[in-house]
Structure formats: C-alpha cells, structure tokens
Structure 1
Amino acid sequence: MRLLYFDLSRRKAYHVSSVMKFRFYSILVAACASFFFGTEARAGVPEVEYKARIKGLDNGALEKVIKESILTFKLKDRPPATLGQLRRRSDGDLPRIGTILESHGYYDATVSADIDAERDPTRVTFKIEPGEQYRFRRIQLRFSGPEDPALGKIKPMIRKDSWAVASRVFEEQQRILALMQRKGYPFPTLGKRTVTLDREHHAVDLMLEFDPGVASVYGGFEVEGLESVNQQYIHRQLPWKPGDPYDAKQLDDFENKLLGTGLFGTARVVPKSAAGGTNAIPVKITVTERDKRTIRFGVSYSDIGPGAKILWEHRNFFGSGEHLETSVTWSEIELGGNISLTRPGFLRANQSVVLDIDASHETPDAYDSKKARGTTMVLRDFTQEIQAGLGVGYQYSLVEQLISSEHYGHVFFPLQLVLDYRDDRLNPVRGGHVFGRTAYYKDTMASDSFLKSVGEGRHYFTLWKKYRLSSALRLTLGSIDGASVETVPADERFYAGGGGSIRGYEYQAVGPSLAGTPLGGSKLLEFSTELRLQPGRKLGYVIFLDGGTVYNDLAVDADHSLRYGAGVGLRFFTGIGPLRFDVAYPLNPDDTQRERVQFYISLGQAF
C-alpha cells in the first residue's frame, strides 16, 4: 500500500518550513524509536522485520548518501514494534530525501514510499523520480564597503554550466573568505547568499555578498607560554613587521614554523580585534614548550653489514632556539662523529647560520680515508618549499688508495639549492624533491683545484588512492670538473652501488676498478623507479628497478655499460615512519660481483 506521495516541485517555502518540520519530525521519530525499542522490544512485543531499497535513482554515489542519512536504513537493525511505527519512520524520511536531492541540484524531484506488508520480511521501497539536474548559469560576487581593487580581482571558481551542487557553494564561500583574509581583511563574513531558480531552463543563478570588514595592518604581538625560550627568539622569527598588510597565510605559516622547530608541543597564532580608532591588528601567540633534549639510537643493515648511530640534541642551547646536535656513527667500514650548531633568525627571520664540525675514518674497499672538516653555511628559506645556502669550509684528509697515500688540505665554497614539495618526508606519495649542490675545492697543499657538482630529482605519483598505490622516480647526476680524476682525492670521487645507490650491487662496486679495488670516477649517473602499494595500515609492498654507472676517463678499457638491479621490498609502517626491508638482485653484473643477492634494512623509504 502507498503511504505518501511527496512532490518537491510544488513546494514554495521548502527551504525554511520543511527543514524545520523535518528537524521536529526527526527528533519525534528518534524519540519514539528510542521509547519503543527501549521498552516494548525488551518486553517481548513482536518486531516488524523489514528490508529497504531505493528505486529510480541511477546515481550510485547519491543513493549511498541517502542510505547513510535516513532512519529507515540507519535503523534497519532496530526494527519497529508495529507496522504503524514503520510507516511513521519511512514517512519522516521523505523530507530529508528531498533536501538531499535539492543539495545535488534535483529541484523538481518527486519521492514516494511504498510498504509491502504481505512479504516476509516486509519490503519498504522509496521511489524517486529525480527529474533533470540543474546547472549553474550566473555566479556573481559582491563586496560591501569602499571599493578595493584587490577584492575586485577575486573571481568565482564555480564554472558556468557545472552541476548546481550545494557543497560547491559552501566550498566557494570558504575559498573567498580565505582569500579576503590574505588581502588584509582579518574578519570577513558572508553577508547574504541568494539562490534563484529558473525551472523552465533548469538553471541556478547564485549571488554571494560579502562584508570584508576593515582593511587592517599588523600591530604588536604578545606571547604566552614561554618558560626557557627567550621572547626575543619569537621576535626574530616573525615574518612580518608592524604596519605590514595583514595576511592570514603568514600566521598559518608562522604557526607551522614554530611547531617545526621542535621547541614547542603546541603553537597557536591568532589575530585579535583592533583597539577603537585604529586598524592595527595585534597578534596573540600561545605556545607550550616541550623538553629540549633528545637522545636517539638507530640501527641498520645493508650490503656493508650492520650499522648504528647515536644522537644527542639540545633545541634551545643558549635560550634563543639554538639547535645543538652531536652524533656518532659506526659501521664495519666507517667510524665518525659530528657536532652541529644552528642559530635561527640570523640577520633576518627566514635565515639561519649552521656551524658544522665532523671527523671520520672510512675503510671501504675503494680507499682508506681519515678526515676532519669544518663548515659554516648560511641558509635562507625563500618559501616553505625553497631553500638556498652558501658557505665556506676547510677539510684536511689523509687518503690511501692502492699503493698511493696523499695528504690534502682543501678550502671549499659550497652552494646549494633545495626544492621540497613532498607530502611526507618519510613516506611520500605525492610531490617531489629537487636537490642541487656545487662546491669549489681549492687545495692548500699544491694539489689541483676542482669543482664538484651533484644534482638529484625525485618525484612521486599517486596511481590509486584507495589502496595507496604510488610510483616513485629518482634521477641523480654528478660531475667533477677542472682536474684530472687521479688528482682528486679518492674519497671525493663518485662511486655507485649499494643501498642508497644501485641496489643489488655491492657497495661502491659499480664503475672502474683495478685488481678488485673500485677507483671511482668523475661522472655519475643513477636512476631508480619504485611501485609502492599500501593496502592496509601496517604493511606495504614495493617492487623496484635501479640503474646507473660511474665514468672514469682514465680507465679507457673499463666497461661503461649501465648496470641494473631489481628487487622487492616490504614496508612495516610505524609512528616514526616505514621500516624498510629490501631484497635486490643484480641483472647484469660483471665478473667482480661476488654476492648475487643483497639485503637492506633501514628506517624510511629508499628515496
């Protein structure tokens, strides 16, 4: 039997009155359901089991929204005690279905509900005739108050003839409000939204009127929550000066910057209302300090055997955000130590100076190197994604290779550029990372000077969002110019092969060699591609192909062919990043390759 026929095209004041009625009926139905299910069902009163369906709607996504929103589907596991209660439940769902259809542009829809009590279980059928979906025809924006050319440049992003979906209107409102906050208006509001229907042409005209408020500039600032950090540190980090035009993005970026320092567990940066008679907006900064000292310990395993690293850091060494870090690294072929001190806010808010001292003893198959080095770098963040740096350093080394042993003392001048737009540093699935570094080495002990340059690009694509299927690509190029390769210290030449290079090959084993000793080269080419799958929360799977080689012009008889390695990997995702297990096999090794299968264990993706 048919309970009710609901014709949306005949309603005149649906947006106000029917919504209020729906809320009232929803509360009434929910209260009745709670009463009957909570008392009569427990008292043994028979329940009316039923199945529900929607008929006449070809839009699967919209049908899913309706099923997730109406009580007939949401309470199907809590059947009513009587057929009359089932009628009231389905009856109360009709206005909500109408609202949902309108929100998706179906303004001429008709909805009805049928109950077939002769079947077991009872069948409830919602019959929907959606009609034609409306499209946007005209979209206009208006801003009250004095004319501002900056606001006049804001254009609607809703396209003409696109479907008249309500969510797009709300997204557009928020986008425009956010743009106004970037153009000097800290407290804009939506004044009026006018929606006009043209039923004859199935079109929607939209008018959005905004009240920008008062155009404002930055005033002073106040900080709450500081304990051991000097307030002058906050002042040096501010990306704006009093009198600069207000920009909400600067506040968001500064908030993220404070959290990124590691000094604070929480940080909140918000504007406050200006005092009477002024348009200078004060900014309130509220922080919660965290512990300043950290000790970390890590282990790894690769083709060079086991390795370990212990690190101690202090993130507020002198009280103004100075970051002191010391570390010791050990593996079967390296023992090294490092001390690094970073002072943020050096001469300007987006600039820091880094003092770095390290010493190491390396004993790979290619050479034996004892080295001490000191570097000073000035780094500037031009944006959140772009950083550049330049500096000066000195290194002294004793390097042995084959039967040669040489002392070197180089003054070097590094220059570097980083573009980082990855969505996640330890487990990226979108974006990319570009790194370039060049350094001129001037020897103070009569050896040749040279220029060493290396560049690397990485890019990540999401292929299937549902299962987090993504691809990762890497390309690395390197070159040493200005000196013959034999005058370049062996520990400064390029080598290839190993876990961070071409997997499947032994460490530094790709490229020219003599009597089994890698010689290194002046030119480097490496590339990698990975296919990454993460179907669940904890486990991920990888297949990969690496390739590359090293060139050495002196080794004229050497095989310069590209070497390839392939393999599979397992990722176990933790709170601090993925734990990586890789197994790799060399596809075209030369005769010097001793081990045919290589294993790698570390934290983070391979690249």
Structure 2
Amino acid sequence: MAALGAVLAASQVQALDRIDFSVAQGDGTLTEALRNASLLVAAERDDQTDPQDLFAAAQADYAQLLGTLYAAGHYSGIITIKIDGREAAGIAPLDAPRKIGVIAVAIDPGPAFRFSRADIAPLARGTDLPEEFAVGQVAESGAIRSAATAGIDGWRDRGHAKAAATGQDITADHRSATLSARLVLTPGPKLRFGPLIVEGQERMRLDRIRAIAGLPTGQTFSPGELDLAATRLRRTGVFKSVTLAEADTITAPDLLPITATVVEDKTRRYSLGAEVASFDGVTLSGYWLHRNLLGGAERLRVYGEVANLGAQASGTDYTLGVTLDRPATFTPDTTVGIIAEIGHVDDLDYSADTASVGLTATQIFSTELTARTGLTYDYSKGRDGVSDFEFRNISVPLGLTWDRRDDPVSATRGFYLEAEAKPFLGFDTTDSGVRLSWDARAYRGFGSDRFVLAARLQGGAIYGASLLGTPRGELFHSGGGGSVRGQPYNSLGIDVLRINNETSRIGGTFYLGSQLEARVRVTEKIGIVGFYDFGQVGINGFFDDQTNSHAGAGLGLRYDTGFGPIRLDVAQPVGGTTGEGVQIYVGLGQAF
C-alpha cells in the first residue's frame, strides 16, 4: 500500500492538465510559425509531464517566440506565459513549481512593421540585394540578415575575403509601426589565394591533395573556387570529411593561406546487388574497390555480373572487368583511366565470347555537366542462328551527361540527358561506322511531390555499317526491365533472311523507346506506380516498313528504405508478338 501511495503521489505531482496556446489577431501562417517555434507545444506533443522540464521550457519560450515575431516583422508583440496563473518569467528558479496543471500562452503580435529606411553601404558592383529589404516591405529580421549576407558575399566574390558588417543603426518607431535599418560594411583589402596547408592526411600524398584540390594559388580570392576545391577532394571518395578554412591573418602583401583539414576513409569497400525478373531470371552484381591504391586517390575497381540465371528463353551471361582511374590528370577536373573486360553473352539471338581493353578520360565541367571520351579495342567471337562470326574494331566514344535531377535515386523534379557518338573502325569482316545513342528523362512533381510524372525517351542509330557487318553487341534490342517491362529481355529484334533462305533474328540499327510512369506516394514509406512502356527496332530508319514494335504496361509498388526505394513491378504485354503472360521485376531504385 505504501508503494502504491508513492506511485500515485508521483503521478499527481507530474500531472499536466493542458497547455492553452492563443494568438490574438494572428493570421494562420504566423500562428503556425509560433506553434512550431514553441518549446512548450513541442513538450506537449512529446507527452512531457515533468514539472521541472515544463518550467524550463516555459522560461525559454519567451526568447523563442520573440525571435519568431521579429522574423515576421512584429516588433511590439506582448507575450505572457502563465503557469497555473503565475507569470513564468516572475518565478524564481529555486521556487519552481512541483506540480503544474495548466500552462496558458497568450501572444499579441501587434502590427507588422514596415521598412521606412533600408540602406546598406558600401556595396560591390553587381550585388543583388533581397527584394524584401526595401522601403515599404514588411521589416522581417531575416530580411536584414539576408541583406547583410548578400552585401558581404558581393565583396567576397570580388576577392575581398575579409569583408564584414561593422556597423548597424536599427530603430523601431512604434507609433508608425516602421523600422529604420542602416547597415555598414567594411570590404577590407582585395586578396589572393595563399598556400594550401593540409592537415589530417595519413596515406594520401600532399602533392596529390594539392593537385586534386586545384586551388589557384596566387590568383584573386574566390569563394566559388574555394568551394570547388573542397568538392574535388570529396568526390575522390578517399575522405570521410573535408573542410577548407581561410586563415585569420593575411600574409604580406595580400596572400590568404587556406587550411584543408581532411579525415581519410577506409581504403577498401565492396558492394553487392541483385535483381529478379520472373521471365529473365536473376541478375547478381558486385564490385570490390580500393580508393587510394598508390597514395594519389587512384581507384582500382574489380567488378562482375552474372545475368539471366534461370531465364526461360536464354542462357547465362557473365562479365568480369577491372578499371583503374586517376583523378586530377592534366587538369584538376580530368580523370584518366584504363579498363579491361571479358564476358560471355548467351542471348536469344546469338552467343559470343567478348573482350575489350581501353583508355578512358572524363572531364567534369560542373556538378551537372560531364563529358567523356576514350579509345577502346573490342573483340567478339560467337554464333548466331545461322553462322559463326568474329568482330574486331577500335572505337572512340564521345559522351556527354547533363544531370539536373533533384535526387538521382528517386527524382521528383528536373531532367537527365545522356548522349554518345561512337565512331568505330572495323577490321576484316567488321564494317566501320558510327553508333549514336541517347537517353532523356524528365520529372515533374505535384502536391508537395506526393504525385510525380516521370517520362523517358531512349533511342539510337547506326550509320555507315551494314546490319550483318556491325558487331552484334552494338545492335539494338528492346524488351525487359530497362526498356519495355512485360516483354521478355531483348525479345524484339529484326528477322533477317540469310544464306540458304534461312532466317535469323538479330538486333536492329535503329531504336526508339519510351517509358511513362505516374508515381503516387501513399505514405512516407510506401508508393504505387502505374506505367506504360513502348519500344521499336528497325534497320533502314526509325519508321520504315521493316520496323517492329511492342509495348507493355503494369503497376508497381515502392518501399523507401532511406537509401533508395525497393521496386516491385508487375507488367504484361499490351502490344506486339514477342511475349505473353505476366512479368515480375524486383530491384533497388526507381526504374529510371
């Protein structure tokens, strides 16, 4: 009984009846902002009942709510917070209540003040001030801070790294509900980049860190160049963290040293992946990576894939390859590498052993735009439905990628464009020509991105080489998860009349494909997708008489794991003659 009494007494001490929160003459936006800022509202939401915690939240709420009023331009607001009828600000900490029943928060925002003066000087030429920092606009405190930041950034963009706000005159006139704001900036001297000092490196060589960063020592200071140097170091994958800090002091006459503090990550990592399709079987893939092979951020990658395990209409494909890439070769934004790969293809139309070796070069123009080229020797030997073949050629692929998606894993806005021109020179029975291909994707979200329309258009063409003189792996097919769901993998091609009136099916020299998805997020984790896919393959053009086409449609389920959605698609043919029945696809990430 004594124990039960103690429990009841404790629950009585910590009982909280309610928290009343009211805003006089406040619009919905301001009321919502105040509620979101209130520590007491957060405590009620989290079911906190301890009197000490509630008392501390009440006393801290004055500053929280006042800052929110200032941010909305209300400088004459009145805030009262009463704990069981007593003003929280008047309760001494040692007199904190042992029991709290009702907390009443009442806010009178007062009128929204407007700028009667909005000056900031001196400004660098070309500085863009925020539109809200102007006479007649609501005098939000954030507008003043944004104006100061814009003014400082304007000077920093012109090389004045130590620009600062050194004075302010801000006066509120409560009778007219206006605010006079005058800010003073001090640009400081125009500076140049000094030496790059590196701290924290263990295995990375100092000369390679400086080469990768590409900081233009001796040139005029630029915040953009400073950010770009940090980005270059991060994208090597060698470092867990990278920070670049400007020195507090200037080295005579006008040099500003920069300190790079880095923390190196583990040198090795591996990845495994799997996709399942009911007709095409299982695809297993993986790679092993060394991020810093020789101490200069050289990336050695060994990768492999086994595809179409248990496929109903084709054999098993496999690939084994190795790449070695070296960043900051020739320029800080140029990566040069070598690649070697062997494989076996057992497709519906043909089977072949393949091998390739080559050099690659990638130029990063920005976070959105990348170009690539290379020199590759390709070899394939196998048999199609009629005869043996052997192809040998050298190619010079030229590619460009423009990525404006908001999220590469599950985009809701933006677009993605990839195009490649691949001239190739054939030997012996291999023709010469050029292979063109492209992949365009666009995304548009509606209703806070709970509904997303996603569209994809793929295509390709081969010019200069005959159909039978083109390496089989360069020809175009359609069907499967990457093109037309509901149709078997690479099931659409061209029927060709061969020697002795025998007919065989191979890929085409012209291809068009499209995919359209409507994605709806049902909950924060679960989404559903409706989709329609179309593909066509031809030999004399995109729309000639010998062009074949097919289509598929279906529904999908997505579950967001935090690092990418798990994808389940169920599709069936809705056009063409290459497949029948239902196809099921399971994988990680959106279809495109």
Distance between the aligned counterparts of 2:477 and 2:317, measured in 1?
Answer: 16
1:156 to 108, 120, 129: 129
- Aligned CA distance change for structure 1 residues 271 and 518 (closer, same or farther; 3 Å): farther
Q: For 1:337, what is the secondary structure of its paired residue?
A: strand
Distance between the aligned counterparts of 2:339 and 2:213, measured in 1?
Answer: 26
- What corresponds to 2:557 in structure 1? 570
- Aligned CA distance change for structure 1 residues 72 and 423 (closer, same or farther; 3 Å): closer
- What corresponds to 1:142 in structure 2? 121
| Residue 485 (str. 1) matches residue 473 (str. 2) | no
Instruction: Give the TM-score taking structure 2 as reference length.
Output: 0.82
- What corresponds to 2:311 in structure 1? none
Tell me if the contact between 1:512 and 1:520 (Cα under 8 Å) persists in the aligned partners. yes
Q: Please report how far the alpha carbon of residue 135 of structure 1 lies from its aligned counterpart in structure 2 after TM superposition.
A: 4.0
Spell out, residue by residue over 1:524-568, the C-alpha distance to the aligned partner (whole angstroms, 9 max, x if none).
11222223344555433322222231222399754545x332222
Tell me if the contact between 1:572 and 1:578 (Cα under 8 Å) persists in the aligned partners. yes
Distance between the aligned counterparts of 1:123 and 1:321, measured in 2?
Answer: 59
Q: For 2:300, what is the secondary structure of its paired residue?
A: strand
Instruction: Give the TM-score taking structure 1 as reference length.
Output: 0.80
Gaps of 5+ in 2: 1-8, 86-100, 309-315, 497-501
Q: For 1:152, what is the secondary structure of its paired residue?
A: coil
1:547 to 505, 529, 534: 534
1:598 to 574, 580, 583: 583
Distance between the aligned counterparts of 1:412 and 1:249, measured in 2?
Answer: 37
- What corresponds to 2:73 in structure 1? 105
Tell me if the contact between 1:265 and 1:290 (Cα under 8 Å) persists in the aligned partners. yes
**Residue identity opposite 1:57 in structure 2:** Q
Structure-to-structure mapping, 1:26-45, within 5 angstroms: none
Q: For 2:468, what is the secondary structure of its paired residue?
A: helix
- Aligned CA distance change for structure 1 residues 592 and 575 (closer, same or farther; 3 Å): closer
2:506 to 477, 500, 519: 519
Q: Please report how far the alpha carbon of residue 129 of structure 1 lies from its aligned counterpart in structure 2 after TM superposition.
A: 7.2
Tell me if the contact between 1:57 and 1:63 (Cα under 8 Å) persists in the aligned partners. no
Q: Please report how far the alpha carbon of residue 280 of structure 1 lies from its aligned counterpart in structure 2 after TM superposition.
A: 0.7
- What corresponds to 1:331 in structure 2? 307
Tell me if the contact between 1:294 and 1:314 (Cα under 8 Å) persists in the aligned partners. yes
Q: For 1:259, what is the secondary structure of its paired residue?
A: helix
- What corresponds to 2:90 in structure 1? none
| Residue 475 (str. 1) matches residue 457 (str. 2) | yes
- Aligned CA distance change for structure 1 residues 46 and 220 (closer, same or farther; 3 Å): closer
Q: Please report how far the alpha carbon of residue 123 of structure 1 lies from its aligned counterpart in structure 2 after TM superposition.
A: 9.9
- What corresponds to 2:312 in structure 1? none
Structure-to-structure mapping, 1:188-587, within 5 angstroms: 188-195=163-170, 204-275=179-250, 277-302=252-277, 303-332=279-308, 333-465=316-448, 468-513=450-495, 518-534=505-521, 536=523, 538-553=525-540, 558=546, 560-561=548-549, 563-574=550-561, 576-587=563-574
Distance between the aligned counterparts of 2:59 and 2:391, measured in 1?
Answer: 88
CA RMSD of aligned residues (A): 3.6
Distance between the aligned counterparts of 1:276 and 1:503, measured in 2?
Answer: 63
Spell out, residue by residue over 1:149-190, the C-alpha distance to the aligned partner (whole angstroms, 9 max, x if none).
xx2211312244543322233233334434443332333322
Q: For 1:186, what is the secondary structure of its paired residue?
A: coil
Distance between the aligned counterparts of 2:83 and 2:560, measured in 1?
Answer: 50
Distance between the aligned counterparts of 1:416 and 1:129, measured in 2?
Answer: 58
Identity %: 25
Tell me if the contact between 2:251 and 2:257 (Cα under 8 Å) persists in the aligned partners. no
Distance between the aligned counterparts of 2:50 and 2:266, measured in 1?
Answer: 57
- Aligned CA distance change for structure 1 residues 140 and 511 (closer, same or farther; 3 Å): farther
Q: Please report how far the alpha carbon of residue 473 of structure 1 lies from its aligned counterpart in structure 2 after TM superposition.
A: 2.2
Q: Please report how far the alpha carbon of residue 578 of structure 1 lies from its aligned counterpart in structure 2 after TM superposition.
A: 2.5
**Residue identity opposite 1:539 in structure 2:** I
- Aligned CA distance change for structure 1 residues 462 and 587 (closer, same or farther; 3 Å): same
Tell me if the contact between 1:401 and 1:490 (Cα under 8 Å) persists in the aligned partners. no
2:27 to 56, 59, 68: 59
- Aligned CA distance change for structure 1 residues 72 and 289 (closer, same or farther; 3 Å): closer
